[in-house]
Every structure is written in structure tokens, then in C-alpha cells.
Structure 1
Amino acid sequence: MGTIAQMIPAVHIGVATSPHEVGYLACWAAAAVAAVAVSVVTLVRRRPLGAATSATDFALACVLLVLGPLVLPSGERIGTWVTYQPAYALSVIITASGVRSRVLWAGGLLGVVVSYMVYLGGEIEGNMTWTAVGNVLTYVVYALVARIFFGFTRRIARDADSSRARAAELARREEERRAQVMMHNGVALMRLLTEPGTDATRSRLIDQAEVELRRMRSYLRGQAPDRDAAAAEVADANSPVVLAAVIERVCDRFADLHVDALVDLGADLKVPAGQAEALERALESLLLNVRVHARADTVVIHLDQDTDGTWVMTVHDDGVGFDPTSVPAGVGLREVVVGELRRQGLHVKIESGVDEGTTVTIWSGPGPAAVHTDRDATADAP
């Protein structure tokens, strides 16, 4: 379109000086119509020309160059916009460089170069010889640059498509993981509600189910999970929360398990609200596992804070335990406990043995030396 804009001011001079006015005007109109059509089609399709259109475009450029000597005044084939044919051919080369076929692109470029030599005919002499050579090199160089540009753009587009597909897959997996984490405790509670039990036990289960129901509703609505009334005082996600209060709140929901919470050594410990929420869900999941699988008589939760601000919390039950090397970690341990806590920057270690109960250690910072050693396969589960 830029080439056509430059051709327009000189068209009246070309018609006035041409030995064949009608032929000159017809050739000029053919170039103008083709340029406009190609531009419109390219913009509408939003991609480079196809093979058939590119071949037609190359052919028209070659025809206009070959017919140039018949419609142009003698001695004026280089240097003015009256002789628009070489510039039009250059615009065709640049535009058609987007064609995928290398054979068509190279053949079209060769055809334009040969047609340009025919266009010049016997008018090359003296310094004009080097001008002609320079014009031919311009065709070649611009063709290569445009070809490289189109290829680079296509590679960027392929990489973008690949990245977009990868991002969509990762988003799907993350949403699947979030759904598993959000639904796990609720599903466990529903399972317990279907089993026979005392009215007191069912009453406590119903209270817990209401908490999980609010969380599920918030998740389905795309909102942040609702917090308990006892935690409503937390103003925002950056406000610290007393961890001992979180532990005691969860223990109250599992009074039937005979949970012994020893939190005196960390009574004043405060953690970020995000960690507190993850710890609350993890502790709930651990106690639900004890209720469903462990058949434990007692559960001991111990919280200890060091002088440097780091802390360690252990959850031990005297239940049936399991063999971490032969029993894969379920969603509760893998995602709700290990996965969510590690995303909050906390460390988790799970130790268990058949008929030896289970101990889960959660800590911040480097932690005690004992915590660093013998990390079992369950703690490192993906």
C-alpha cells in the first residue's frame, strides 16, 4: 500500500510521457488493484499469502516488468516513480516472502530478477550498470531479510502456541489439585456421616461438615475460603495468627479422639495467616485419617518454639500405622498435608510403621538436626 501511495503522484506524468498511454494506464491500474486486493486479503485473513496467490502476485510483477519497455518513455527506466515497475516488484517480493513453499519463493525471486534484466534491456551503460546490479542485490537482500522475518515470526508463534497449551495443561492440573485438596476433608466427613455412631459423635461430625460445606461453596463460587467465626478477627492474609489457638480449635472438633494438645512451649507463636490456614486444613486431614484408618486410642500434638523463632509441631497417634515403602500416600497426606504445607514454605516429615503408629513432623526454618536426617519416601512424595 505504501508503494501505491508513492506511485499515485507520478501517474499523470507517466500517462503524459508514455508512447502508449492506454497501455501504461492499464499496467498501472493492474498493479494498483493487485496491491490493494493483496493488502485487504492479507489483513482479513490475518496471515501471509497462500501459494496460489503468491504465484499470481509474482507472475503479475514479472509481466509488468517485461511490458515496461513498451509503455515507458525511452531512457527513463531507472530513478523515477514514473517507472514504478521495479518498486512494485520489490513490494511483491517482500509480501510474498511469507509463502511457506521455498521452491515457490525462490522461483518467484528468480523470475523477478530475470524479468528485471529484460526490463532494463539495452538501457544499461556507464554508471547505470552498477545501479542495475545494486537493484538486483536489493531484490535478493530484501527477499532474504523478509524470509528470515517471516520464519522468525512463525517460530515465535509456534513457541507461543506451545507455551499457551502448556500453561493450559498446568492450569488444568493445578485446578484438579485444588479440587482434590478442597474436597478431600469434606468427602471424608461424608463417609463418616454414613456410618453408624452416637448422637454426640454425629453432632460433632455435622459441625465439621458445615465448616467444610462453607469451604466447598466458596471454592465453587471462585471465592476465598470462608473462615471460622473464631478466625474472623483476622483482617487480611498478612495478619499473624496464634498457632496454638488454631490447634486448639481443631482439637475441639475431634474431642472423641482423645487428642492431647501440648502447646505450652509455643503458646505465643504467631504464623502468617496463609500458613495458619494450611496448617489448620492439614491438621484436620491428619485427624480425619486417624478417625477413619488408624484406630488409635490417643493422639498427641506437641508444639515447640525455639529462641530463633523457628518452631516444630508433631502429631503422633498410637494407631495401626502403615508401611510408607509399600503403601502410597493418598490425597490427604500427599496434597493436603505435604503439598499444601510445602507451598507455604514449611517442611514435613512422615514416619510410620505397621502397629507402631504414625508421627508427622512439621517445622519452619532449618529445624532440629534430627528432622534433617532419614527423610522417608512419603515425605518426598510428589
Structure 2
Amino acid sequence: MTSPSADVSAPERTSARRAERGIALVAPAMRGVVLLQIVLSTASGVRLSDHPSAYAALTGAVVVVSVTLVAQCLLSGTVRTGVWRYPDLTLAWLAIPAMNLLLPTSHVVGTWESWAPGYAINVAALAATWMRPAVAVTHALALGGWLLVWTSAVDVASWETSLGNALTIPGYAIVVALLAHYLRELAADADQSREDAVAATRALELQRYQLTVHDASSILRLLSDEETPAAVLPGLRVQADREARRLRNYLSSQLQQPSDRTRCTVGTMLAAALEGFDDLPLELAVELGAHVELSEDVWTASRGAVAAVLHNARMHAAAHQVVVHADTDGATWEVVVSDDGVGFDQENQTLGFGLDTQVCDALAGCGVAAEILSSPGRGTSVTIVGRVGRGEDAP
């Protein structure tokens, strides 16, 4: 049996990584479409340009940066890093006035020989994937204004066309910024949910581990204590043998269930729970409720709860008498375990693992109520109440 801390490894933030890789795949695809248009129009642009060498050099720089973008995004799986980013921004700002200077006026607006507007739109959109959203939108507005200034100076361009082209840049940037932000937030929420689920699994496994070893550790402690009275040892050995068999079947939990030959009644549940506690000063009064039938889950939880109460009485109560009483009114059944031991201050002392988890939580999980009453010097009383024939419902 291994410690629960070894059962569940720390979760990786796989959703965030996948979202980032998805964005890093879309970015090269978007740039690839624009780059294809630029390359196809390069020959025509060189022929039309008054300075063909400068036009070809500017186009070549865009091609180099774009190829670098594609390669780094595909290799690194993210758009948040890469040497292409700031050269990309610089070229977008330079290309807009360069088209006015390098091309005839008739080709500055509305042609792919003047590829600067399409390139600027793409640059602003991709910048929105690696910049903070507010910064990306501000940059796109400035770049759109920069385009408006230069295209408005072209005589053949109407102000509507210039404004439309200018607004397209921040428009695409806003859409991409919102989409990238949404995808990353969605991935972060998915990863957080996965981490919460792992934490819950760890807590559940730890509780299961504690439930498994709690009673066994108490028995072993008493067996190893040289001051344990000899009269107690036979009962401890019986319980130790039962716990050893139960631990060997830890994963299947077979010994937690009543055997096929055991009727699931209050009486057989108490008989199983009381086994090995002959050293306690027990007083039994169970006849009135012994015949009540229980479901298997209620039988198992109740047996464990009663045994936990008796372990507590043995370890802590120093009682002169422990009374186990069972009764029924036809609608509900009741088991009360009371001792006249030292008790505890219920207002200022929290319940230990046995009473809190093995009794209250375990019983509540199958619809059975438990009430614990105690005060210093006046003993402890644990009352367990369930519905007759409806173990799954709380009374």
C-alpha cells in the first residue's frame, strides 16, 4: 500500500500549451496568404516602380521576416517569442510611406503592387496575438491613422476608401485580440479545473488512506505498548488479524462488506463492530432494534462508525462503563454508544479524525445521521439514527 501522495502526479497545463500552439499555427497560415499575394505581385511592382531596387529590397525584407515568423512559430509553438516581431512592426510602418514614394500614384491604393495596406492589416492582427490586448489595439489604431495620412494624400483615392482601409487595421486587430484572449482564458480555466480535480482526488485518496490506517494504527500502538493490560491483548490480536486481512484487500475493500452469509441487520452490524472489544466494560441492550434490516452501504458505514467510537473509548475515555443500545420505533432505527469516561470540551475542542470522518462524514454519505454529545468529566454519547428500509435517506 503506497502513500496517497505518490498516486497522483502534478498536472501539466496542457490546455494552455495547446491553445498557444493553435495560435502559433494560425499565425503562419495568415501570414502565408498575405505573403503569397505579395510575391505574386512583386514582378509587376518592380516594373512599375520608379526605384525598382528599393522596391525589391523592401519586398525581400518582408519575405525574410515572414519566413522567420513561420519557422519560429512552428518550431517554438508560440507567438510570444521570436526575433521576427519587432522587425515585422517596423516594416509595416515603413512600407506605408514607401509605397507612395516607390509607385505611381495610380497604383498606390487598391492594387497588390502596393501591398503595404494588406501587410499592415496582417501585422496588426498578428501583433494582437503576442501583445497585451490594450497595447495591440492602440498600436493598430496608430498604424491605421498612419495609413490614413498617407493614402489621403493620393489624389486618386476617395476619403471613403482611405478611411475604410485605415479602419480595417484596428478592426482586425480587435477581433484577433479578443479571440486570442478568449482562447487563452478558456485554456487557463480548463487547466485550473484540471488542477482542482487533481487536488480533490488527492484529498479523497488521503481520506481513504487515513480511513484505512486509522484503526489499524491504534491497534498496533496498543499492541506495542508494554503497559497495555494483558486482559486487553486477546481482543487486540483478534482486531489486528482482521485489520491485517482488510489491509491486504485494501484496493478491493472486500472485507468492508458483510459476507454472503451475514444478514444486514442492526444486530449483525453491532456484532461485527464489537468484535475484539472484550476488554471494554461493555453493557449491551440491543434486542429492541437488532432485527432492523439495513442496506449494505449503511451496514458497512455503521459498523465502521461504531468501531471508531469504541476505539476512541478504549484510547481516550478511561470509562468504567460503555453502553451500546439499539432501538426502533418502526420508522427509524437508533444505535447509541455512551461511556462514563473523561469526555471532552465540545465547544472548544474540535472532533478528531475518528469521530469527524469515520463517524459523521461516513454516515452522512449514506443518509444516516450522527449526533455527538460530550462534556468534560461527564463522558461521551454518540447517537446514530437511520430510516427503516430507506438507508439512503436522512431521517
Shorter chain as normaliser: what TM range? 0.7 to 0.9
Distance 1:105 1:244, change over 3 A: same
Q: Which runs of 5+ in 2 are unaligned?
A: 1-28, 389-393
Out of 111, 123, 146, the residue aligned to residue 176 of structure 2 is: 146
Aligned residue for 1:91?
122
Establish whether residue 279 from structure 1 lines up as the match of residue 322 from structure 2: no
Q: Which runs of 5+ in 1 are unaligned?
A: 235-239, 367-371, 373-382
Distance 1:42 1:363, change over 3 A: farther
Aligned residue for 1:231?
258
Q: Which moved more, 1:146-155 or 1:179-188?
A: 146-155
Distance 1:249 1:146, change over 3 A: same
Establish whether residue 307 from structure 1 lines up as the match of residue 336 from structure 2: no
1:159-198 alignment runs, 5 A limit: 159-160=189-190, 163-164=193-194, 166-195=196-225, 196=227
Higher relative contact order (CA 8 A, sep 6+): 2
Distance 1:7 1:322, change over 3 A: closer
Shift of 1:110: 4.8
- The answer to whether the Cα contact below 8 Å between 1:247 and 1:261 also exists between their aligned partners in 2 is no
One-letter code of the match for 1:178? R
Aligned residue for 1:361?
383
Q: Which moved more, 1:87-96 or 1:164-173?
A: 164-173
CA–CA separation in structure 1 for the residues paired with 2:274 and 2:160: 92
Q: Which moved more, 1:13-22 or 1:58-67?
A: 13-22
Counterpart secondary structure, 1:256: coil
Number of residue-to-residue matches in the alignment: 355
Counterpart secondary structure, 1:290: helix
Out of 59, 83, 86, the residue aligned to residue 55 of structure 1 is: 86
Two-structure CA RMSD over aligned residues (Å): 3.5
One-letter code of the match for 1:294? A
One-letter code of the match for 1:133? L
Counterpart secondary structure, 2:289: helix
Establish whether residue 269 from structure 1 lines up as the match of residue 293 from structure 2: yes
Establish whether residue 351 from structure 1 lines up as the match of residue 373 from structure 2: yes
Matched-pair identity in % = 27
Aligned residue for 1:132?
162
Aligned residue for 2:12?
none
- The answer to whether the Cα contact below 8 Å between 1:51 and 1:99 also exists between their aligned partners in 2 is no
- The answer to whether the Cα contact below 8 Å between 2:140 and 2:173 also exists between their aligned partners in 1 is yes
- The answer to whether the Cα contact below 8 Å between 1:314 and 1:360 also exists between their aligned partners in 2 is yes
CA–CA separation in structure 2 for the residues paired with 1:48 and 1:354: 67
Aligned residue for 1:376?
none
- The answer to whether the Cα contact below 8 Å between 1:265 and 1:305 also exists between their aligned partners in 2 is yes
Distance 1:81 1:306, change over 3 A: farther
Shift of 1:51: 9.5
Per-residue CA deviations over 1:95-115 (Å, capped at 9, x if unaligned) read 111344578535642552254
Out of 22, 33, 41, the residue aligned to residue 64 of structure 2 is: 33
Q: Which moved more, 1:152-161 or 1:242-251?
A: 152-161
Establish whether residue 19 from structure 1 lines up as the match of residue 48 from structure 2: yes
Shift of 1:90: 0.9
Out of 271, 278, 287, the residue aligned to residue 248 of structure 1 is: 271
Distance 1:163 1:139, change over 3 A: same
CA–CA separation in structure 2 for the residues paired with 1:232 and 1:100: 66
- The answer to whether the Cα contact below 8 Å between 1:93 and 1:143 also exists between their aligned partners in 2 is yes
Aligned residue for 2:33?
5
